Amino acid sequence: MNKTYLSFARWGTVALCWLAAGHSSPSQTFKAEGRLVWSNPARPEIKSSLRTFTAYFQDEQWLIRMYETVATSPLAYHEMAFDGTQRTSITLIRPEKVGPKSINVGSGIIHRLRMPELDSSFAAPIWVGFGGARHFRSLTNNLISPMWINPPTRRVARYEPTGEWEFSKQSPGFLESACFYEAAGWLAAPYDEGFLRARHQVTAWTNIGGIIFPLRWELQDYHPKSRVVGGKSIVEADNRDDTRPEVLFRVEVSRIETGIRLPRYQAKPTGPVIVVDQRTAPPREHLASPETFPLEDPTQRHRLPAR
């Protein structure tokens, strides 16, 4: 029987069990809905942005769809998924009338790394909260995959970002907190030893059918402090944690259902989609039609013609 957490209005009536649940593990499969608010603490004049999401998690597999909430946005949604072997993402444009049909086109990526980067899809903050613990348990020597687009691999001999994390004592299948440290050998001390780049922190939990789930959390993106000297930006700090917050992601969950099977495929474009395969060097670009979707179907990959 599925267990559902219904709405924000009922938060006060749902027990946030911090201790009673002991060390219960999360459900093998669940679906979550909620919203993500993006803001810039360093520049309050910049208007915050809101997106809603639907996420599915089943063991190490997951699928996250982020919906646009601005009616004037040309984007319909972003979707990212990991099938246990590879990670894919797709961005679809809102349907347009072409002759007698409505067609939505877009762009897609077949990614090289399992861990999602902090990109324009905004799927990463959702993944850290719901799926990060399983990934972090597989790491050694605190070395993590890069969470940021275009890491400076050409500027350093070894690019090895690190992390420090704590699993929830009441629900070990989820993270309580995590810090991401960026490798920065090309910067002045103390940043040359790496610096705090992001911090994840759960701020509230909820009990769904005896399972403790994160209910609200934040992911703060930091950057080195700097000052302008002679027209150039010079970094300055006393320690590698002395960074400034530039992006804050606040995640609020409104609904959770357990026992929900992960959908095999979600994205259903009705027009052509440009797909970049980042697993190759250099990356290869393809033109996919609706018939060659979904991207993660191994039997369909050979049907992607080069563009």
- pLDDT tens readout for residues 183-237: 766 676 667 777 788 899 999 999 998 899 999 999 998 877 766 667 666 666 6
Average pLDDT across the chain, whole number: 79
When pLDDT is averaged across residues 105-116 and rounded to a whole number, the result is 87
Question: How many structural domains comprise the chain?
Answer: 1
- The closest of 67, 127, 69 to 91, measured between CA atoms, is 67
| Per-residue pLDDT tens over the stretch 49-95 | 999 999 999 988 999 999 988 878 888 889 999 988 888 899 988 88
Dist. CA 267–CA 136, nearest whole Å: 28
pLDDT for 234:
64
The Cα 245–Cα 239 span in angstroms is 15
pTM of the model: 0.81
Report residue 208 CA to chain centroid gap.
Answer: 23
Separation between Cα atoms, residue 292 and residue 275, nearest integer Å? 11
Q: Whole-angstrom Cα distance, residue 147 to residue 246? A: 16
Q: Residue 241 — very low, low, confident or very high, per pLDDT cuts 50/70/90?
A: low
Return the pLDDT at 15.
Answer: 32
Query: Residue 60's pLDDT is what?
Result: 86
- Using only C-alpha atoms, the chain has a radius of gyration, in whole angstroms, of 21
pLDDT band at residue 20 under the 50/70/90 scheme: very low
Domain span including residue 223:
4-303
